[in-house]
Amino acid sequence: MISKDEILHVAALANLKIDANEVDSFVSQLDKIVGMESKLASVDTTGVEPTYNMGDTNSVFREDKGIHTQTREQMLENVPEVEDNLIKVPTIVDKEDDE
């Protein structure tokens, strides 16, 4: 069983906020899915190497040379708030945290 506290903890780790009226349905759905995934425990994997990556190439080397991609203007085109060619964001350190 996966508890409500665990779900809220996982949501916090993922920078997600779950509305109070939706928590119960998330808990019951995720509990069912994790329950399904738990059946993996029944497979004997002693001595088996995990497969984390695919593809037939292991290491790729290239010359250490800069290449032209986008301009600063292009890079800033999609930024929601720009000031003086910089990305504007709200306070990074809260005043209360300093005190």
Partner 1 sequence: MDIKKETIASLHEKLVNKDITAEQLAAQTLDNIKANEKQLNTFITVNDKAIEDAKKVDAEGINGPLAGIPIGIKDNIVTNGIKTTAASKILYNFMPVYSATVMEKLAAAGAIDAGKTNLDEFAMGSSTETSFYGTSVNPWDFSRVPGGSSGGSAAAVAAGEVVAALGTDTGGSIRQPAAFNGIFGIKPTYGRVSRWGVIAFASSLDQVGVMSKRVEDSATVLSVIAGHDAHDSTSSEKEVPDYRANLSKDMHGVKIAVPKEFWHEGTHPDVLDNVNKALDAYKKMGATVEEVSLPTLKHAVEVYYVLASSEASSNLQRYDGVRYGYRAKDVKNIKDLFVNSRSEGFGDEVKRRIMLGTFALSAGAYDAYFKKAAEVRTIFINEMNDVLKDYDLIMGPSTTTPAFKIGEKVDDPLAMYMNDILTIPANLAGLPAASVPAGLADGLPVGLQIIGKPFAEQSVFNAAYALQEENKFYEQIPTALKGED
For partner 1, the binding residues (CB under 8 A) are: 2, 6-7, 10-11, 13-18, 22, 26, 29-30, 32-34, 36-41, 43, 45, 48-57, 60, 62, 69-70, 74-75, 77-81, 87, 89-94
Q: Which residues contact 85 (CB under 8 A, 6 or more apart)?
A: 72, 76
68: tokens are 């032209």
Shortest approach of partner 1 to residue 99 CB, angstroms? 15
Shortest approach of partner 1 to residue 64 CB, angstroms? 14
CA angle (96, 4, 15) in 5-degree steps: 45
